[in-house]
Every structure is written in structure tokens, then in C-alpha cells.
Amino acid sequence: QKEVEQNSGPLSVPEGAIASLNCTYSDRGSQSFFWYRQYSGKSPELIMSIYSNGDKEDGRFTAQLNKASQYVSLLIRDSQPSDSATYLCAVNPWQAGTALIFGKGTTLSVSS
């Protein structure tokens, strides 16, 4: 069973703070990992991908991957009210395929 686990939240942070979102996955053979953001009433959109152990930074977002611990995280620096959304961690566990297994998501609320 391919599973991705996330804390559902809600995670509440004040504007300007760092938001930390975490995720674990069950399939040790997974090679690629993604973070999607979903605003209420909208479809998910890709914000970050990570393939190697370590950190990957893109603007205010940093994704971290530790394959030995089967752990992925997303840090959002200088959080803004517009970052308030549900963040979905996703894993591609397939040898061949583009589809993803998603966690249930963590709801982030940034207060001004």
C-alpha cells in the first residue's frame, strides 16, 4: 500500500513567520516528491518538486527531502495571508508513470 501521511492541521502562523509542513511516505522506492497548493474551491497547483536528499529553495519556499527517514518537508518563509491554503504532499512511486499519490493535506492559515 502506497501511503503519504500529513498532519491535517490547521497550522496557524502570524504574517511574516516561517510555516513548516511535514510529510512521510511509505514506499521506500519512491524517487520524486512534490508539494501542491490548493486554495479553497480551486484545483491543486504545483509549487515545488524535489528529487535528491537535501534542500531545494525557490523564492520563499524550501523543500527538504530525507529518503533514509522517508520524510519530506516544506518551509514557507515570510508567510503571507495569501499563502493560506491546503498544502498537499505527493509522491511518484511508479517505475513508469506520471501520476501521484497524495497526502490528505495540511491546512495553513496565515493571520495578518
Partner 1 sequence: KAGVTQTPRYLIKTRGQQVTLSCSPISGHRSVSWYQQTPGQGLQFLFEYFSETQRNKGNFPGRFSGRQFSNSRSEMNVSTLELGDSALYLCASSLVPGELFFGEGSRLTVL
Interacting residue ranges for partner 1, rule: CB under 8 A: 1, 32, 34, 36, 43-46, 49, 88, 90, 92, 94, 96-105
In whole angstroms, what separates CA 104 from the centre of its chain?
Answer: 11
Residue 25 vs 34, nearer CB to partner 1:
34
Report, in Å, the least distance between residue 57 CB and partner 1. 18
Question: Taken in order 56, 43, 92, 7, is the CA torsion positive or negative?
Answer: positive
Report, in Å, the least distance between residue 48 CB and partner 1. 11
Residue 28 vs 112, nearer CB to partner 1:
28
| 48 and 74 Cβ atoms separated by less than 8 Å | yes
Residue 7 vs 17, nearer CB to partner 1:
7
Report, in Å, the least distance between residue 44 CB and partner 1. 6
In this structure, how many other beta carbons lie within 10 angstroms of the beta carbon of residue 18?
A: 12
Backbone phi, psi, residue 38, to 5°: -130, 110
